[in-house]
Amino acid sequence: MAKKTGLSPFAIKKYADFLIKEGLILEDKRANLRYFKANVNNVFFKHLKIAFNVNLLQKSGLILHLTENTSNVSSIVLFGSMAKGLDDEKSDADLLVIGKEKHMDLEKFEEIIRRDISLHVFGWSNWNKKAKTDKAFYLEVIANGICVYGEKPVI
């Protein structure tokens, strides 16, 4: 890890010990080697991961792109595994956009965030219909989604 991070072995040990003590990472000792992995059951770790995911979307320019290229956009909500901190490298980014649908090429942003992007675009009237016809989807977005632009589109 020292070579990959550019930190000294002492600094790596110090930070690893701190993260273990805080319960953010788990350690497995085999012979004279230490193996680490994220403690995905730690609530604080999940919240850090969620914050990282939201920051990734913001820094990629995706949210700005969506707001500038969707007519009448009022809400953008991240939902699914990324919003719950349960995502892995194969997970996509699920985004609900309330606005006027327009075809957008998001390939550039998929490369930046290294994930597929699943856009679900609804106008207010169609979102209202969706809330009634697909209650499970609506509740998932409203209950577990993270609003990254505007406010949650509660009907």
pLDDT at 103: 81
Mean predicted confidence (pLDDT) in 127-145: 98
Q: What is the domain class of 52-150 according to CATH?
A: alpha beta
- Rounded CA-CA distance 47/101 in Å is 31
32 confidence band (pLDDT: 50, 70, 90):
confident
pLDDT at 3: 83
Instruction: Quote the mean pLDDT of the chain.
Output: 95
Answer whether 79's CB lies under 8 Å from 139's CB: no
95-118 residue pLDDT tens? 999 999 778 899 999 999 999 999
Mean predicted confidence (pLDDT) in 59-64: 98
- For the chain, give every residue range classified as CATH 3.30.460.10: 52-150
| Burial of 55: CB neighbours in 10 Å, binned 0-12, 13-18, 19+ | exposed
pLDDT at 104: 85
pLDDT at 2: 81
Cα of 21 vs its chain's centroid, Å: 26
Residue whose structure tokens are 């675009």: 121
pLDDT at 11: 92
Mean predicted confidence (pLDDT) in 14-40: 93
